[in-house]
Each structure stands twice: as structure tokens, then as C-alpha cells.
A and B are shown apart, each in its own frame.
Chain A
Amino acid sequence: MSLVASGGAVFSQQNQNEFKPEFRKYILAGYNFGGTVPTPMPNTVRKINAWWPQFNPSLGYELDYVFNEKWGMGAALKIDYKGMGIKSEVMYMHTSVDIKQGDKPGKFEGLFVGHNKTIVNNGYLTLPIHAIYYPDKNWKTQLGVYFGYLFHAGFSGEVTDGYIRTPDATGEKIAIDTATFNFDNELRKFDCGLQAGAERRINNRISINGNLSWGLLSLFPKSFHGTDFSMYNVFFTLGISYKL
């Protein structure tokens, strides 16, 4: 009896070890925290007075292919809002904007000193692709890249309580009480970068996850000179996944 029993146990163990590769599907929901970050921080930014996230939902569908107990790969299709608000004080920040006055092309260039408030509210259709490693049955980690398509552009704000020197530091000093800017149409339509994350299983269906995505393409193309530094999307998604 005991032989049979032990033989059965061995059999069942072998059965467990024989992992069949499989697809796993998830619904993802989360919230993006982060910012469009100038790297490196330019010395023209003197002070950050406030920062706040915008309404940044992240919703998506993920399809993983799991090779064995340890490894897999996956891809997702997500809608990611990546936004923030920031209030800063800048000094001699170079700006150059094209201005169309009727049928006459124009350009305004100068150095701004004063307060700046920027609201970023960008919506991306994101395609992350990643390798998956399972350290144990409760954890899932991933590392990969993402590609994003900007379907909703929002980059605007106002400058206040300052002045601008145009066209350069020795040029005319123009006081600015309040002026607005809108660079929606100047934003790059594509974004791509690196992403890494981890997920902890709560039960058979639900996991909580955290994922960092680091943009490698600057928000604006090189031809844009509205700001004199490059900015990148750096966001952390905190969310849950629901296994279908």
C-alpha cells in the first residue's frame, strides 16, 4: 500500500513539474505618477514651488506567453495618461516660438525671467513589450521597452510676474504680467523608452503591480526651441491586474 501511495505521490509530483507553456490574459488598471522631467536639470530653473499629478489613469489589456515556471514574455495595449502640473521660478530661460500673424510668419525669441506654470496632460496609446521572470509563485517581474503614440496632446501654461529679454540678453526688456503658452501642436507624436516592473499576487485573479517607464525620446522634437532643455516622460504606474 505504502509503495502504491508513494508511487502515486511521485507520479503526481512529476505531473506538476511538467509545465505546459500557456497564454495568460489580464486586464490592467492603474494610475500614473510622475512627470515630464528635464534631464539634466538646467541651471535656468531656480525653484520648484509646486508639483502635482494630473488625472492620469492607465487602462489596458495584457497578453503573456509563459514558457516555463520561471520565464515568459508579454505585451500589452494600454491607454496611459501622463500628466502633471508644475510651478517653478526660472531665470534666463531661453525660449523661441514661431508665431503666425495672419499670413505673415513670425518668430519670437528671448530669455525669460519669472514664474512659470506648466500643465502637461498627454494621453498615449502604449505598447509595452517585456520579458517576464517569476522568482516564485507569488511574484512576477518584468523588464522591457514601450512604444507610445500620442493621441491627446496637452502642454500649456502661463508665465507671470517677470520679463523677457528679446531676442537675447542685451535685447529689449519686456515686462510680462501674465502671458500664456500652448505647445500642444509641437509635441512629438511618438514616445518610446524602457520599462521595468513587479507584481505581487493577492489571489488567483488579482495582483497589485508597480511599473516604471522611462522615456528616451524627448517630448519635443529637436526643431522645437520653446524651452532650452529636453524633457522626458518618467512615470510610475501603480495598479492592479485582473487575470482573465
Chain B
Amino acid sequence: MTKFIKQLAACLLGIGLCYGCIKSAPLSPEADIETFSVDPNYLDVNKISIDQTNKTILLYVKTDSLNSQIKPVITITKGASVSPASGQAVTFNNPVQYTVTSEDGQNHKTYTVKAIAVVGFNYEFENWQQLGSGTRVYEHPVEMANGVTEPVWSSGNPGLAIATDPPYPIQKTTDSYQGNYAAQITTMPGTVVFGVGAPMAAGSLFLGTFETNISEPLKSTKFGQPLAKAKKPVRFTGYYKYTPGPTYSQFSIIDTKITSAPIPGAQDSCAIYVIVFRGSDPLDGTNVNNSTRIIARAEMKQGLPASGYTAFNIPFEYYDTNIDWKNENLLFTVVFSSSKGGAEYRGALNSQLIVDHAAVVCEDVP
């Protein structure tokens, strides 16, 4: 009988060993371009942004360098390979496709690297691009310059698309002020994955990129595009319509679920503003309102309801006048949001902002 007990014990030991018998490590299925750099002498602005979500890399290549043989230095996921290889000469007069193959050979990821010009200052929201995959397809407006699509607009859409099906906050609408389309921005429930995320998604359309950070959602929105040299923004103009949603509320995540507490007597308001700031790194949702790098702002103060298209014409207010417009690296962003309190998750579901025919009016600095 003791033999039986021994066998039982051996069996238990077997279970214990089952924990211990770790299999050999899987080969990496990842295939990322992690960094991409080129000789800054070829660039107007030494700011290269990799949009991992949409696998796009934008280079501000000087017009006279478009036919140059440029040798980008690329770093990729450990174990993966890339074609064309890092250091291989390419020209960026047309978009270049870089394909990364994962270590396990199973996955291929193709990035489009394109040269773009520093974005202009007129926004008509006529051209839209579909992004995402499967049923999770969302839209962003794009700018066009000399026939090149410039995906400079971003939003929280990709953050919602990680876990929720459409619709998403930013959509095109035929209810336009002029042309075929305008941008429609709607406040929607947020997304919570594994107990973290954003309980409310104030629709927000901005110049910049979006890098999903579910632990700190406000850090997902990366604001900023290069400002053309020797241009000083003086006014921000455009047309908008705004309908606040019915119930202004404070949204929060309680016990991994989205909950909302109505705030009686209050109404949602929209946010429409432009900021100009120093440096070449973007601002994010945590510092876009208070960074000391901000030198100027044009902001609609109240964001009141407007049932028909209503013009806005807002002068820039400068906090710093000691600016070298010709040489300094400056960034700016245009932000439209359907709920002003979006960063604090305060707003009303279905608040809707429609914008069209907007412009940042600039003076040439002699």
C-alpha cells in the first residue's frame, strides 16, 4: 500500500514538474520599424514621425533633395529583417515601401515612407482616408499638396478601434459649409480594456498623431505639426455648428466599468483652438493646455451651441514675442473637440461639432 502512496506522490510531483517544463521560446512574430533616420541636411524639418497604427512614416524632405540618393538608417524588431535594407540608397520622389519580415517568418509589415511638404494653413476637409482593418474602419481627413496625400490629421478614433466597432467620433459629413464634405465630431462612450482606458471619448480632431496608451489615455494624443518658416499665425478662422448632447455628465471607470454621473444644470461646450509651441517634440493631452513651450494661442472662449453654420474669427494671443520666425523650430496644432472637458472625461454623449472651411491666417515675417 505504501507503494500506492508513493505512486500518488510521484504523480503529484509530475504535476509540479508540469509547471516547470517550460517549452523553448517562440520566435518573435513582431515586425516593426522602430526608428527611421536620415541625414538632416536633406530635411526641411528634422522631425520624423512614425505612425505605427497606420504604418506611415512622414519625411519633410527639402524640394531640392527629392531626387537625392538618401540612405536611411533603420532599426527594426530584434530578429526581423527589412527590405530595402537599412543604409540602402533610395529616392523619395515617390513613396517608398519598406517591408519588415518577422523573426518567425510568419508576418510581414509594410510601411509607406513618404516625403511631404510642411502642411498649409487651409483646411477644407474635402479629402478623407479610410484606416483601420476588418470591421474596425475609421476615417480621417487628409490634406493634399502637389498630389501627395498628407495624413496630418489624427483623432482618438484608432484608440476606440482597438476594442469597439463603429461608429467612431470623427466622420465626414455632406452637411458642409462649402465643397462636398465637412468634419463631424461626436462625443461617444470611451473604451475600457482590462480595467484601464478612457471612460468617455470626446471627439477630437487635431494636427498630430495618435499612439494608443491605455494606461494613460491622455498621453495617446500627440499634438503638433511643423510650422512653415517665416510664417506668423495671426488669426484662426472657420465655420462651425454645435449641438450639445442632452446629459452633461462626469464619466469614470468604476470596477472596470464605465459609469456616468449627470451634472445637473450644466451644458456641454465645444473646444476650437490653435496653439503654437517651441521645439520638435509633440505635446500630449496632459500638457497641451499648460506647457511652458506654448508661445501663442487662438481659442474660441465659450464654445456655445450653434444650430446653423456660424463663423469664427479668433486673433492669436502671444505670450512670448521674442521669436526667431525664420530659424526656430516651431510646431503648431489645430484642435476641434466636441466636449471641452474631454481631458477630465466631462461631457455629454452625442454632443456634435461640425467644422468646415477653417484656416490659420498667417503673416509673412520679413
List residues of A whose CB falls within 8 A of some B CB: 34-35, 37, 39, 41-48, 51, 91-92, 97, 99, 101-102, 104-108, 111, 135-136, 139, 141, 159, 165-170, 172-182, 196-198, 200, 210, 212, 234, 236
Contact = CB atoms under 8 A, between A and B. Distances in A.
A182 B256 CA distance: 9
A178 B31 contact: no
Contacts of B195: 179-182
Contact of A198 (B5, B25, B196, B256): B5
B306 interface: no
A212 B163 contact: no
A111 B28 CA distance: 11
A228 to B, nearest CB: 12
A172 B162 contact: yes
Nearest to A211: B8
A139 B214 CA distance: 59
A43 B23 CA distance: 5
B215 A179 contact: yes
B164 A106 contact: yes
Interface in B188-238: 189-196, 212-216
Contacts of A174: 162, 212-214
B23 A101 contact: no
Interface stretch (B11-19, B65-73, B239-247): B11-19
* Chief secondary structure at chain B's binding surface: loop
A42 B23 CA distance: 7
Contact of B26 (A35, A43, A106, A200): A43
Given A42-B23, A43-B24, A169-B30, A178 B196 contact: yes
A197 B8 CA distance: 8
A172 B194 contact: no
Contacts of A34: 15
A176 B215 contact: yes
7 contacts: A39-B18, A47-B22, A92-B29, A104-B164, A182-B256, A198-B5, A212-B12
7 closest residue pairs by CB, A with B: A179-B194, A169-B29, A43-B23, A180-B195, A106-B164, A108-B163, A102-B189
A43 B189 contact: no
* Chief secondary structure at chain A's binding surface: strand
B193 A35 contact: no
Nearest to B134: A167
B20 interface: yes
B29 A179 contact: no
A101 B163 contact: yes
B30 A180 contact: no
B215 A46 contact: no
Contacts of B194: 97, 108, 159, 176, 179-181
A178 B196 CA distance: 8
B126 interface: no
B365 interface: no
B192 A104 contact: no
A174 B31 CA distance: 15
B47 interface: no
A198 B8 contact: yes
Nearest to B215: A177
Given A141-B4, A176-B194, A106 B165 contact: yes
A51 B192 contact: no
A236 B107 CA distance: 43
Contacts of B191: 99, 101, 106
A108 B8 contact: no
Contacts of A159: 194
B102 interface: yes
A108 B196 CA distance: 13
